[in-house]
Amino acid sequence: MTNEVVPWVDDMVAVRDARDEAAFIRVFGHFGPRVKAFLMRTGMDAALAEECAQEVLVTVWNKAHLYDATRASPSTWIFTIARNKKIDVLRKQRRPEPEDLPWGPEAEPDQAEVIGLQQESEQLGRALRDLPEKQRELIEKAYFGELSHSEIADQTGLPLGTIKSRIRLALERLRHSMK
């Protein structure tokens, strides 16, 4: 791979191999605003996106030794880190802090709501069982096993593109089954 074909490879390799601060400053200057914009486009407010973008670039510095130019371009690698950081932030926001937990008896859920959720769960279970086995296994690993596409590829030995295609097809089938 040359720098003309995939920009930023030389700088990422310099950061990875020599902890080159000047190269990292260039990477940070280029990708910092782009990561922040990406996070804001996904619904994050500006202040949180700025903080998260900085954490992403700190992760890039700290984990530069893991960068492999043969597996991903610098932008793909960095935006994957950003996507994972965004998921971490969303998960953290959804977990209530102990002082936010309600005390005392909880209100009983509406019976119609409970029945509706049970029916949807049963419908989803049938739809999952009806998927081709190869697609169902990947959906289970991704959503129930909470594995990333890359982790699934490492675990199964399948190419990342195959994993993504099968999951995309499976989700489309599930969407149609749930209508």
User: Domain locations in the chain?
Assistant: 9-94, 129-179
Q: How far apart are CA 61 and CA 16, in angstroms?
A: 8
| pTM assigned to the model | 0.51
User: Above 60 in pLDDT, residue 75?
Assistant: yes
User: Above 70 in pLDDT, residue 86?
Assistant: yes
Average pLDDT, integer, range 22-49: 91
Phi, psi of 70 (to 5 degrees): -80, -15
| 129-179: CATH class | mainly alpha
- Give the helix ranges, DSSP H, for 42-159: 46-62, 74-94, 111-130, 133-139, 149-156
User: Above 60 in pLDDT, residue 104?
Assistant: no
What is the crossing angle of helices 9-18 and 21-41, to 10°?
120
pLDDT in tens, 5-19: 467 999 999 999 999
Mapped onto helix, strand or coil, the DSSP state of residue 161 is helix
Q: Label residue 36 by pLDDT band (50, 70, 90).
A: very high
Q: How far apart are CA 59 and CA 138, in angstroms?
A: 28
What is the crossing angle of helices 21-41 and 46-62, to 10°?
140
pLDDT in tens, 108-127: 667 777 787 778 778 888 88
User: Above 60 in pLDDT, residue 100?
Assistant: no
| 9-94: CATH class | mainly alpha
**Residue 63 has what pLDDT?**
95
**Residue 108 has what pLDDT?**
66
